[in-house]
Amino acid sequence: MSQVSRRSFVKSSAIAGAALAAPAIGRAGVSANEKMGACVVGVNGRGGSHISGWLGDDRCEIRAIVDVDEDVGNKRCDQIAGKQGSRPKFYTDMRKAFEDSDVDFISTATPNHWHALTGIWAMQRGKDAYVEKPVCHNVYEGTALIAAARKYEKMCQVGTQCRSSKACRDAVAFLQSGGIGEVKFARGLCYKRRASIGALGDYTIPDNVNFDMWSGPAQYTDPKLTRKRFHYDWHWQRLYGNGDLGNQGPHQTDIARWGLGIDTHPNTILTYGGRLGYQAERKDPAYVDAGDTGNTEVSIYDYGDKCIVFETRGLSVNDSDDTELNKLFQSTKGNKIGVVFYGTKGYVVQKSYTHCIAYDMDMNVIQEFKGGGDHFGNFLDACVSRKREDLNADVREGHLSAAVSHLGNISYYMGETNRVDIAAVTEAVGKIKSLDDDSKTLERTVAHLKKNGVDLDKYPMSLGALLEFDPAKEVFTNNDAANAYLTREYRAPYICPLADQV
């Protein structure tokens, strides 16, 4: 055990011991030198919520901040100093922060392409790790992150906070106790309006950003920026992000898997869709948006006896023809982000982080579930107890749920140039074993696109590859080219190791 990890271990054990001996020591009353030292990595958007989470828990103190954007990082340090009374150290290189013996655990809200490597490097240096969703940018990274957590015996929680929400926990318990009969099928929705991120172009990288380190495990683009807004919009460029299927998706596919009791990867995957509608939106037939992930996708996942369908819609979803979904979500306007479980005796809908509803077959409400939770606090509980069973979202859950998105995206990328008419999509969805009414889902998707002015003759949908996956070996068995997407080419020193090399 390294000096750093021994120190963390001794300290965590001491806290655990103190908690056992004197249960009164809880969130309040932990003395300064007993507190766990937090380091937050990537603090622009979501990192701000991590900071609030740690500031709100008396068991920890934020001792380090890491960001490759010096402006963003320094601003956060100032804010923390004002609230906490002590200014955390600021680092631009996470490796230096992970050497800091004042840091006991890290939480990371960098862009997706950094998640797994950040977690692995931190755990190798003896720190527990709270890693945002998706926990990995590709499937092999997720497997490696699990291996690191197990090898270094670290707590690794995924940022799927619904796992700690009372509403979601109660709804899942209700459906698993037979509240809506037998349940084998769930539909995840990310009907979330996303405007174009601007035209593909040649934009300037902000001076205050170390772009080499920002790019990290992704390809270094020379340095070239093809999107207008530096932060956040990387979500829609596949070198870094995973589209909304891999952004919002891991929350909802996680709940779907959880509710259905699925503890593995799917056997068969098919995605159709595209990045559609921005020409109509901009009233310019030649418009090319800088994003290259799908904004409209239907992904079908067959798990043998169970099935998940995930629908991504980035165009307007107001006044849609989705009569059944409108009823279940009790709304015809605005975004619909959630999960519908279809049982033999009714439905359960995860409508938001704090609200789920159970219906009978006639869509009468039979029960409602409300309330949030403290996912950050749950991570700290496990850091103290040193029991990974105490984590509400252990890294393995995060890996399985991120992989749902990655596998769906791989199907899309493999068929991206296969632009086809609706008849061809209809024929293809007829071939996948699924518990959904696939032709009805396709019809609704086409109606949605038409309502948004998409001319499908001129801009047809892409039909992804029908992929067969071996869940145990984590390889595609019918498409060698697709296997290349399970990892990526790394550049030194930002190489994410394979699971047996962590």
* Site residues for ligand NAD per CB under 6 A: 41-47, 66-69, 72, 94, 109-112, 114, 132-133, 159, 161, 213-214, 216, 231-232, 247
Q: Where are the beta strands (DSSP E) in 289-343?
A: 296-302, 307-313, 336-343
156 contacts 149 by C-beta, under 8 angstroms: yes
Percent helix, strand, coil in the chain, to 5, is 40, 20, 40
Hey, what are 104's tokens?
Answer: 């006991």
Minimum CB distance to ligand NAD, residue 402 (Å): 10
Minimum CB distance to ligand NAD, residue 370 (Å): 19
Nearer to ligand NAD, 111 or 497 (CB): 111
Nearer to ligand NAD, 108 or 296 (CB): 108
Provide the 8-state DSSP code for 187. E
Hey, what are 266's tokens?
Answer: 């799917």
Q: For residue 294, give the amino acid letter.
A: G
Nearer to ligand NAD, 94 or 145 (CB): 94
Nearer to ligand NAD, 92 or 367 (CB): 92
Helices (H), ranges, 217-361: 249-260, 278-282, 323-328
Nearer to ligand NAD, 74 or 326 (CB): 74
Minimum CB distance to ligand NAD, residue 20 (Å): 31
Hey, what are 329's tokens?
Answer: 């979500």
Nearer to ligand NAD, 231 or 327 (CB): 231
Minimum CB distance to ligand NAD, residue 396 (Å): 18
Cα–Cα nearest to 383, from 140, 127, 99, 168: 127
Task: Identify the bridge partners of residue 360 per DSSP, sorted by sequence position.
Answer: 346
* Contacts with 33 (C-beta within 8 Å, 6 or more apart), sequence order: none
Provide the 8-state DSSP code for 205. P
What is the C-alpha separation between 491 and 287, in angstroms, rounded? Answer: 33
Minimum CB distance to ligand NAD, residue 449 (Å): 26
What is the C-alpha separation between 249 and 189, in angstroms, rounded? Answer: 8
Cα–Cα nearest to 336, from 358, 354, 357, 314: 314
Hey, what are 203's tokens?
Answer: 């934009």
Nearer to ligand NAD, 12 or 160 (CB): 160
Cα–Cα nearest to 40, from 84, 80, 83: 80
Nearer to ligand NAD, 402 or 429 (CB): 402
- By beta carbon distance, the residue nearest ligand NAD is 45
What is the C-alpha separation between 450 and 459, in angstroms, rounded? Answer: 11
SS3 417: coil
Nearer to ligand NAD, 110 or 378 (CB): 110
Nearer to ligand NAD, 161 or 462 (CB): 161
Q: Where are the beta strands (DSSP E) in 145-304?
A: 156-158, 183-191, 268-274, 296-302
Q: For residue 297, give the amino acid letter.
A: E
Minimum CB distance to ligand NAD, residue 183 (Å): 25
Nearer to ligand NAD, 109 or 425 (CB): 109
Minimum CB distance to ligand NAD, residue 211 (Å): 10
Minimum CB distance to ligand NAD, residue 117 (Å): 9
Nearer to ligand NAD, 111 or 266 (CB): 111
Nearer to ligand NAD, 393 or 486 (CB): 393
SS3 312: strand
Minimum CB distance to ligand NAD, residue 244 (Å): 10
Half-sphere exposure of 222 (CA within 13 A, CB side): 6
65: part of which helix (H) or strand (E)? strand 60-66
Minimum CB distance to ligand NAD, residue 242 (Å): 9
Write the DSSP assignment of 349-390 as a string of letters: EEEETTEEEEEETT--EEEEEE----HHHHHHHHHHH--GGG
Cα–Cα nearest to 402, from 488, 486, 302: 486
Minimum CB distance to ligand NAD, residue 133 (Å): 6
What is the C-alpha separation between 501 and 417, in angstroms, rounded? Answer: 36
Minimum CB distance to ligand NAD, residue 216 (Å): 5
What is the C-alpha separation between 323 and 331, in angstroms, rounded? Answer: 10
Minimum CB distance to ligand NAD, residue 382 (Å): 17
